[in-house]
Chain A
Amino acid sequence: MAAPLLELHDLKTQFFTPEGVVKAVDGVSLELHAGETLGIVGESGSGKSVTALSVMRLQRPGKIVGGEVRFKGRDLTKLSEVEMREIRGQEIAMIFQDPMTSLNPVFRTGWQVGEPVRLHQGWDKARALGVAVSMLNRVGIPAPEKRARDYPHQFSGGMRQRAMIAMGLTTTPKVLIADEPTTALDVTIQAQILDLLRQVNREFGTATILITHNLGVVAGMCERVMVMYAGRIVESGPTVDVFAHPKHPYTWSLLRSIPRLDEERHEPLKPIEGLPPDLINLPSGCAFHPRCSFKMERCSRDVPTLTRVGDTQLAACWVTQSGVELKGA
């Protein structure tokens, strides 16, 4: 297999707060290959967004305290701010959850969409606007010449997210990081944007990291998935296998706790008991053990490492690593 495009090795990002140190990302390793779509799922506070922001070196006020982010053979954590700026606009693009606040309200949309090529490729205004208009057209904005002259407030939420995606694509980046790109949108608009992201991936061959809390979105979009809990990856593998035979009790219980549109009979949901962990005072051992219905004595003592369980998956769980199968009532 070809070398990965983007490789995270034992990445650690921490926030130093008056209450204590928050280990937002606590030793995350991952590989992203050219053209693939990787999903990162987790709840709020699991570290999925901070992982993405750390790749872009936008994690401030958090600090990257360890590990590497290798892109095209270079460690991004060691680059100067000037060098990093080149990577951000041109090689790795990022789109955010809230299209309402991530566009500047005082500049025309076309001007903003053309900004990456003006800044990074030194194109003049007219040429940049030309590429902005053609990119707005490609992401499905009707009458793009006219809309390029509009301000962001004249766009609907879905249109703004399209404009953000257009902006990210003007420099044809190798990697697109989409952080909850559809969470603020209605479901019919979400379907439009996900469809657009699939198209972008197909036509431009852009490798995509899709960060979401929505397991349904991952199921429809990603070949591989990583599940995060309390700053760590607890499970990873091909999406089909992870959803069919989860190897971490967190993934297993999460899948059972959500109502499904296609459920046949009404049965009470099986919630995950307890609360998400306090990131400043993490439980000892495995961070999930206080909520885990499979826990063994060892789980409260030792932190499990991400190890192969089954043919295709990795799981950080003493229970499944010891050969126990996850089964419930």
Chain B
Amino acid sequence: MPKAEAVQLKRAWTTSDPLVSVRGLKTWFPVASGVLQRTTAHVHAVDGVDLDIKKGETLGLVGESGCGKSTLGRTIIRLLDPTAGTIQFKGEDITHQRGAALRAHRRDMAMIFQDPYASLDPRQTVGDIVGEPLDIHRLASGPARRERIRDLLDVVGLNPGFVDRYPHEFSGGQRQRIGIARALAVDPTFIVCDEPISALDVSIQAQIINLLEKLQSKFDLTYLFIAHDLSVVKHISNRVAVMYLGKIMEIAPGQQLYRRPRHPYTGSLLSAIPIPDPLIERARERMILQGDVASPVNPPSGCRFRTRCPRAQPHCAEEEPPLEGFGAEHLAACFYPLD
């Protein structure tokens, strides 16, 4: 281990250090085939990701289905085991933690899921759903537990009197509020929001986005906000990372990413997103990508995006472009970036 790095690991974590720091992270899933169901290949869902998440920020993570964004989020909070690489949380290596040590960290992390219909147990009351993390981590019991649950419901904008109701009595937006209350129960520092609004009606989405922003400033939360909708991600995030086939292609502050994307994939993603203004839409020049996303079982050699990239050169197949700096806080992995 190089000396500088060793020193850094020994120093105590401070709030100016990244809250989450991921290096060379890989999460692969085995593909079994044949009569004996032998592992014959791997889905390279996350395939070498370096990422820092600062305390108090919202890092947006966008990409199309199958790009590995949810797997990355789940691996970071150790819901999935990484195949390779390291995950540091508050300066501590949690990559291989188990048992009590991992549970202690889990008290600091939470997750909000996409589907408010599938992520709540229909046989549990709202009080039991929100109270479960309190029981698991032995954070409160008896009257204090009940009081805490009522407070949590109140803070997410639900009537505290709803504690004894069941999920089916609520609308999609209200269920997502229950899911948020459950995530807040452990009083976490870090929350992974995995497509928290994509299952909701348009008129309800803004309510949930505003709630998440309010809670962030109130409880000093750090978010990893995963979504496929770049307009939403840009709105809520300080920085945005764009993922394609298991790799980060570009990462930059949202406004900068929108004004001056450097990776051709980001450029085409931005141009594909419709803007609700007919005059702008008619004047826009589109960069429509050809073809479909390549298979994550056998990602293309060199740059993974090259099979769909309008700027690809022979060199792109031979070597993988590293994430390089394009000014402050702006990184992109491309040999032939956009101007």
Contact = CB atoms under 8 A, between A and B. Distances in A.
B313 interface: no
Contacts of A159: 292
Contacts of B289: 188, 191-192
Interface string B285-303: 0101100110000000000
Contacts of B236: 259
A263 B280 CA distance: 13
A216 B213 contact: no
A217 B231 CA distance: 13
Interface of B is mostly: helix
A186 interface: yes
A272 B206 contact: yes
B159 interface: no
Which of B173, B258, B274 has the most chain A CB atoms closer than 10 A to its own CB? Answer: B274
Interface stretch (A56-64, A88-96, A250-258): A250-258
Contacts, number: 134
Nearest to A276: B201
B281 A219 contact: yes
A309 to B, nearest CB: 19
Pick the most buried of B171, B174, B202, B258: most chain A CB atoms within 10 A of its CB: B202
B234 A259 contact: yes
A194 B284 CA distance: 14
Nearest to B279: A240
B65 A260 contact: no
Contacts of B202: 43, 213, 215, 254, 257-258
B50 to A, nearest CB: 25
Interface stretch (B123-131, B148-156, B263-271): B263-271
Contact of B288 (A192, A254, A276): A192
B320 interface: no
B223 to A, nearest CB: 15
Size class of the A contact interface (CB-based, 8 Å): 35 or more
Contact of A186 (B228, B255, B282): B228
A269 interface: yes
Contacts of B32: none
Given A240-B278, A259-B209, A261-B273, A188 B268 contact: yes
Nearest to A217: B274
A258 B276 contact: yes
A213 B205 CA distance: 12
B274 A195 contact: no
B103 interface: no
B210 A216 contact: no
A82 interface: no
Q: Shortest 5 CB-CB distances between A and B: which pairs?
A: A216-B274, A259-B235, A271-B206, A191-B272, A220-B281
30 contacts: A43-B201, A186-B64, A186-B65, A186-B293, A187-B273, A192-B289, A214-B274, A216-B273, A216-B275, A220-B274, A240-B278, A240-B279, A244-B279, A254-B202, A258-B202, A260-B231, A260-B275, A262-B258, A262-B277, A263-B234, A263-B235, A266-B235, A269-B210, A270-B206, A271-B207, A272-B203, A272-B207, A273-B207, A275-B174, A275-B204
Interface of A: 43-44, 156, 158-159, 186-192, 194-195, 213-220, 239-240, 243-244, 253-255, 257-264, 266, 268-273, 275-276
Given A187-B230, A239-B278, A276-B204, 6 more contacts: A187-B273, A188-B288, A259-B209, A259-B232, A261-B230, A264-B255
